[in-house]
């Protein structure tokens, strides 16, 4: 059930699957479990200070010898210090999100750190390819957390056409069939977020996991549009309040957002917590171990390609 692509080779992993950058959710424990199982685990540095990030990196190094990533969002006010930390700690892979990391790419690559960037548009992707990024993660607006405005299906069709670097598809991927589908578009890896929340190793509060299990595909909503930072979350009393406040009292809405992800992750608080998740929450049906989830995803991806091969009557002789 292994597969070789430019992404598996670049990142030195068995499965072409990357853990999406998730603040709070992306702990060393979860990321290490994912790396140990053969994919790429990712510490979501969110709004961490440099000291805390260093601690988390030391922690994951105790838990795995496999490659892992640190996700850094450009909104973090300590970006430059975080980059110093990942260089000092010799982190194998850095994944940038929520902004344009072009100025930092060269420094990291000079230190032999692989650099990927999450984008929601083809324009930024092209600029980052020119700046030397190793691969582009195209994230559709069905993803959880901060979102763009193009869907995964459209974005990946476009990115695989205009880029030379390998493309990783993100947003809405929670089945092995979706992995096969993204590969059909030309992607060479996928990023999975929401499905990893519903794993045994994820340290989120049980309420968070249960909200994902119970959600249908229409049970997310986009908060923060009016505030200029749209984020997809599971519908809860919190999200309802947020949507009202955004219109009526943007300042109160901003206040309510502070610490809201922590309140979801640590306390499972549905009235104060922001349960970030993608539309694919509606596809997740049970809590699995990370290892079982990855094996099931890959198994289904292979089965899907086998069916396609038969359906399109592709002959082995057409292989070159």
Interface residues toward a second copy, by CB under 8 A: 3, 5, 121-123, 140-142, 149-155, 157-158, 160-161, 171-175, 177-178, 180-186, 216-218, 278-280, 282-283, 301-302, 304-306, 308-320
Torsion sign, CA atoms 118, 303, 35, 38: negative
* Complex with a second copy: residue 228 or 312, whichever CB lies closer: 312
What is the DSSP code string of 110-148?
HTT-EEEEEESSHHHHHHHHHTT-SEEEEE-TTSSEE--
In the numeric block, the tokens 């548009």 are attached to 121
d(CA 48, CA 66): 23
Non-local CB neighbours of 80 within 8 Å, separated by 6+ positions: none
CB-nearer residue toward a second copy: 57 or 141: 141
Least CB distance from residue 255 to a second copy, whole Å? 25
Question: Which of 21, 148 has the CB closer to a second copy?
Answer: 148
Structure tokens at 174: 């929670």
Rounded to a whole number of angstroms, the minimum distance from the CB of residue 194 to a second copy is: 10
- Residue showing tokens 């070159």: 320
- Min separation Cβ 310 and a second copy, Å: 5
CB nearer to a second copy: give 48 or 125: 125
**Which residue, 99 or 186, has its beta carbon nearer to a second copy?**
186
**What is residue 107's three-state secondary structure?**
helix
Q: How far is the CB of 159 from a second copy (least distance, A)?
A: 9
At its nearest, how many Å lie between a second copy and the CB of residue 151?
Answer: 4
């Amino acid at each position: 059930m292994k597969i070789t692509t430019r992404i598996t080779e670049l990142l030195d992993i068995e499965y072409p699957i990357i853990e999406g950058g998730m603040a709070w959710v992306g702990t060393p424990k979860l990321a290490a479990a994912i790396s140990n199982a053969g994919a790429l685990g990712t510490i979501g540095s969110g709004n961490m200070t440099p000291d805390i990030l260093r601690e988390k990196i030391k922690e994951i190094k105790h838990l795995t010898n496999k490659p892992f990533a640190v996700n850094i969002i450009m909104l973090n006010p300590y970006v430059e210090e975080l980059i110093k930390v990942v260089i000092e700690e010799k982190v194998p892979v850095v994944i940038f999100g929520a902004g344009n990391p072009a100025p930092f790419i060269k420094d990291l690559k000079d230190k032999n750190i692989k650099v990927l960037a999450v984008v929601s548009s083809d324009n930024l992707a092209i600029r980052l390819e020119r700046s030397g990024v190793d691969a582009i993660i195209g994230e559709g607006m069905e993803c959880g957390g901060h979102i763009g405005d193009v869907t995964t299906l459209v974005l990946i069709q476009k990115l695989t056409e205009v880029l030379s670097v390998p493309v990783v598809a993100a947003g809405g991927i929670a089945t092995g069939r979706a992995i096969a589908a993204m590969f059909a578009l030309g992607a060479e890896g996928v990023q999975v977020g929401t499905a990893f929340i519903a794993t045994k190793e994820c340290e989120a509060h049980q309420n968070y996991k249960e909200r994902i299990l119970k959600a249908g595909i229409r049970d997310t909503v986009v908060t923060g549009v009016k505030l200029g930072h749209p984020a997809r979350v599971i519908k809860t009393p919190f999200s309802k309040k947020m949507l009202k406040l955004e219109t009526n009292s943007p300042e109160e809405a901003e206040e309510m957002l502070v610490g809201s992800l922590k309140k979801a992750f640590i306390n499972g608080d549905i009235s104060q917590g922001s349960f970030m998740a993608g539309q694919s929450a509606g596809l997740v049906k049970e809590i699995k171990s990370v290892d079982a989830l990855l094996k099931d995803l890959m198994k289904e991806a292979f089965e899907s390609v086998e069916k396609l091969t038969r359906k399109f009557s592709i002959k082995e002789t057409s292989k070159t």
